[in-house]
């Protein structure tokens, strides 16, 4: 990795949690300068403008989320274990896997009316998550783990929505109480559809 690539990556890593916490619009280039201890001119050697840097930071947050998620799912053998591990991964919004909370929630709500590029990025990661979940359920049905009328895509959607909503509720209330209920409810629903 060349010096330039190294610096670029360094900036992204420092910028990502700031964008995810404060939001894109509310984060200034001087915030990033302060975090990286780099000069303004140096920032613009690696990123032609703030939006490009913000997009890179969004991507980085998604990548961290995905990497940690894959790691959390790695040990799961059965399909039910995959679903439970997925739920557990999101079960502690006061100590979220990505600094600033779920980037899908943060960037999704900021971008939906104002930033089509980021909006589409979020949309794609959600689609990807949905595919993972519905795929696990389909496999579970084939394996006779789940009842044949367990609807993969519908439950994937319901589960994802509930996790994101629970994340919001817990972050706003400042504790995990609501998320715990969501976790319990989801696991119950999965058990009800298990054989």
Among 22, 29, 68, 135, binds DNA (CB under 7 A): 29
Q: How many other β-carbons are positioned within 10 Å of the β-carbon of residue 150?
A: 19
Q: Residue 175: which of DNA, its own copies, none does it interact with, CB under 5 to 8 A by kind? A: none
- What's the distance, CA 58 to chain centroid? 10
Q: Residue 39: which of DNA, its own copies, none does it interact with, CB under 5 to 8 A by kind? A: DNA
Burial label for 1, CB within 10 Å (0-12, 13-18, 19+), is exposed
Q: How far is the CB of 14 from DNA (least distance, A)?
A: 13
Rounded to 10 degrees, what is the CA torsion of 107, 111, 115, 121?
A: 50
- When asked if residue 114 is in the footprint of DNA (CB under 7 A), the reply is no
The C-alpha atoms of residue 45 and residue 30 are separated, in whole angstroms, by: 15
Q: Residue 119: which of its own copies, DNA, none does it interact with, CB under 5 to 8 A by kind? A: its own copies
The C-alpha atoms of residue 192 and residue 48 are separated, in whole angstroms, by: 53
CB closer to DNA, 28 vs 128: 28
Q: How far is the CB of 149 from its own copies (least distance, A)?
A: 12
The C-alpha atoms of residue 138 and residue 152 are separated, in whole angstroms, by: 6
Among 44, 76, 130, 180, binds DNA (CB under 7 A): 44
The C-alpha atoms of residue 7 and residue 160 are separated, in whole angstroms, by: 36
Among 16, 17, 20, 27, binds DNA (CB under 7 A): 27
Q: How many other β-carbons are positioned within 10 Å of the β-carbon of residue 46?
A: 18
Among 21, 22, 23, 31, binds DNA (CB under 7 A): 31
Q: How far is the CB of 8 from DNA (least distance, A)?
A: 8
Q: Residue 144: which of its own copies, DNA, none does it interact with, CB under 5 to 8 A by kind? A: none
Q: How far is the CB of 58 from its own copies (least distance, A)?
A: 13
Longest dimension (CA), the chain: 61
Chain residues in the site for DNA (CB under 7 A): 2-5, 7, 27-31, 38-42, 44-46, 48-51
């Amino acid at each position: 990795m060349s010096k330039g690539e190294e610096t670029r990556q360094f900036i992204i890593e420092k910028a990502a949690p700031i964008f995810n916490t404060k939001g894109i619009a509310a984060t200034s280039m001087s915030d990033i300068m302060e975090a990286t201890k780099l000069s303004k001119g140096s920032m613009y050697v690696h990123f032609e403008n703030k939006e490009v840097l913000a997009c890179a930071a969004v991507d980085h947050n998604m990548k961290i989320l995905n990497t940690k998620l894959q790691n959390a799912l790695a040990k799961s053998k059965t399909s039910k274990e995959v679903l439970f591990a997925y739920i557990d991964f999101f079960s502690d919004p006061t100590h979220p896997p990505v600094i600033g909370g779920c980037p899908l929630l943060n960037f999704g709500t900021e971008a939906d009316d104002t930033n089509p590029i980021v909006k589409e990025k979020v949309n794609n990661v959600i689609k990807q998550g949905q595919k993972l979940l519905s795929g696990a359920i389909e496999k579970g049905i084939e394996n006779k783990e789940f009842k044949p009328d367990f609807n993969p895509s519908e439950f994937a959607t319901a589960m994802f929505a509930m996790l994101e909503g629970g994340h919001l509720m817990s972050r706003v209330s400042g504790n995990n109480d609501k998320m715990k209920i969501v976790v319990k409810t989801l696991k119950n629903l999965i058990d009800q559809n298990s054989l």
